[in-house]
Every structure is written in structure tokens, then in C-alpha cells.
A and B are shown apart, each in its own frame.
Chain A
């Protein structure tokens, strides 16, 4: 998450028309306290029961955790990019993500969810 924070401006246009949702099985209180301590500028979601993780194939039932993985959803509600698993220590993974976000944001804005 530190890499996301440090590259927030370049990767996510500083949050302008791009929303980053960081999702884990942690409680909402744990996520809020971590976000405060580390000064993360984005939103965290508590996926304690794996509701979202199961829909996205990220949930690891044996560990009760969400696996590191990433999806870019375009303005039309469709997946434009997926990195499963996301190689969080590989700098090229972030470059790829930045390009994917740029491509998605520049895409058509028709239709909805």
C-alpha cells in the first residue's frame, strides 16, 4: 500500500476521476487506524467475509484472506485490466497499472453498471 500512496499522483491522477479501493479482510477499524497512521489518501474496504474477494477470485478460504490481485474497472463498469496476482514488489507492475488506468480513463464513458 505504501507504493500506491507514494505513486498516487502519477498512478491515479491524484484521485481525479480515478478511484482506488484497497480491499482486505481486516476490520474497518483496523483499516481506518492504519490509513490514519500511514496517511493513505484512498479508501479501504473491509472484506471480512470475502464477499468481494469471492466475486473476483481473490478470496483464499484456507487463510480467510484476499490474495494480492488487482482489477481496473472502466467508466462503463467493465474490467479493462487484471493482474492476478499483482506483483507488488516489481516496479514494472506499477508502470503497467499506470498505463492501464490511463487507458481506462480515456475510454468510452457510455452505459452503466
Chain B
């Protein structure tokens, strides 16, 4: 009886923690080196001729804000 309760609890825990764990465990964690990339860039002045590389900003603090889609909230 006790064992069954434990098994049920373990099962429930597994079920309920799985989606949270799957949410976004990839990508660098705090303390790890931020992977470099190069992407086409745009500002309010227009598209830029040269791609932007993360390492171009060495010595500065960089905030990478990934978002879904232009002209949406958030």
C-alpha cells in the first residue's frame, strides 16, 4: 500500500515536472561562454550592409532578446 502511494507520487512528479523541464533547457547556462553568431542586421535607419557578429561587442554587455515576430506585442 505504501509502495503504491510512493509509486503514484513518483509518477505524478514525473508527469508534472516533465513539461517544465522540456521548456528550454538548451542553450548556454549562466557562466558559460555565449556562442558566437553572425546575422543580417536592421535598425530604424534601414538594413545594414554588414552582418552583426556577437563577438563584435567584446568588452560590452550584450542583451540577446529573442522574440516571435515583428509587429506583435512583447
**In the complex, chain B residues 1-58 whose Cβ is within 8 Å of any chain A Cβ:** 23-37, 39-48, 52, 54-55, 57-58
Q: How far is the CB of A43 from chain B (nearest CB, A)?
A: 5
Q: How far is the CB of B63 from chain A (nearest CB, A)?
A: 5
Of B23, B32, B70, the residue contacting A78 (CB under 8 A) is B32
Q: How far is the CB of B7 from chain A (nearest CB, A)?
A: 32
Query: In the docked arrangement, what's the CA distance between A113 and B40, Å?
Result: 20
How many Cβ-Cβ contacts under 8 Å join chain A to chain B?
Answer: 198
A78:B61 contact, CB within 8 angstroms: no
Q: How far is the CB of B27 from chain A (nearest CB, A)?
A: 3
Chain B residues near A18 (CB-CB < 8 A): 60-63
A57:B27 contact, CB within 8 angstroms: yes
Chain A residues near B40 (CB-CB < 8 A): 28, 45-46
Chain B residues near A58 (CB-CB < 8 A): 24, 27, 66
A contacts with B: majority SS: mixed
Chain B residues near A53 (CB-CB < 8 A): 66
Q: How far is the CB of A67 from chain B (nearest CB, A)?
A: 6
Of A22, A51, A109, the residue contacting B65 (CB under 8 A) is A22
Known A46-B39, A73-B54, A79-B32; judge A21-B64 contact (CB<8 A): yes
Query: Which residues does B use to contact A, with CB under 8 Å?
Result: 23-37, 39-48, 52, 54-55, 57-71, 73-74
Query: Which residues does A use to contact B, with CB under 8 Å?
Result: 1-4, 12, 17-26, 28-32, 34-36, 39-47, 51-53, 55-58, 65-75, 77-82, 84-86, 88-89, 97, 101, 104-105, 109, 112-113
